[in-house]
Chains A and B, each alone.
Chain A
Amino acid sequence: ETGVTQSPTHLIKTRGQQVTLRCSSQSGHNTVSWYQQALGQGPQFIFQYYREEENGRGNFPPRFSGLQFPNYSSELNVNALELDDSALYLCASSLGGQAFFGQGTRLTVV
């Protein structure tokens, strides 16, 4: 069992609202990445944080933003939610290139 935990596990939001998803990294991992997994698709890279700084970003608009804290935990914030933002959001902490995933947060935008 990995040490990456995400909260909440499920969330329902209304279009236009804002959401914050949280991730607690595995102990000793200083890199955290966020992925969006739409139904029937592979995980799509959103961005990565390394020692509290953004270190790479995928093809996602600026309303997707994040933070990494000194203890290496992380948040994903999404503003102005759209229906297409409905997906499973995965957090992964990594060390030496191997990523360990959390169980994900299922976000539904209605």
Chain B
Amino acid sequence: AQRVTQPEKLLSVFKGAPVELKCNYSYSGSPELFWYVQYSRQRLQLLLRHISRESIKGFTADLNKGETSFHLKKPFAQEEDSAMYYCALGGMNRDDKIIFGKGTRLHILP
């Protein structure tokens, strides 16, 4: 069964410190992994997807199929990174549904 696990509900990190938001998934097929972010009073939006291998706002995420993980990382946290982060799993087919984890609230401390 498809499943996304984000073990941390809340992560507090000091400004300038490294950030790692954990995500593990379960999927029998070729997965496509995403990170979505929701800033205060804004709609849910795509941060990055593994297939594009981009760095967005300093964040990166590497798909590790052996560990079935897709952790989100940033070397130096900024205050504007405070938000709710959701890891999401979809399939490679156009019409595959996207399954979300429960989310991790990232709180950057000054």
A residues contacting B by CB (< 8 A) are 2, 31, 33, 35, 41-45, 48, 50, 55-56, 58, 90, 92, 94-104
**C-alpha gap A42/B86 in the complex (Å):** 7
Q: How far is the CB of A91 from chain B (nearest CB, A)?
A: 11
CB of B22 closer than 8 Å to a CB of A: no
Q: Size class of B's contact patch?
A: 20 to 34
> Which residues of chain B in 73-110 are interfacial with respect to chain A, using CB atoms and an 8 Å cutoff?
86, 90-92, 94-103
Do the beta carbons of A31 and B95 come within 8 Å of each other? Answer: yes
24 contacts between A and B (CB under 8 A): A2-B45, A31-B95, A33-B97, A41-B102, A41-B103, A42-B4, A42-B6, A42-B86, A42-B100, A43-B86, A43-B100, A45-B98, A48-B97, A50-B94, A56-B97, A96-B94, A97-B49, A97-B94, A97-B98, A98-B46, A98-B49, A99-B46, A101-B43, A101-B44
**C-alpha gap A2/B42 in the complex (Å):** 12
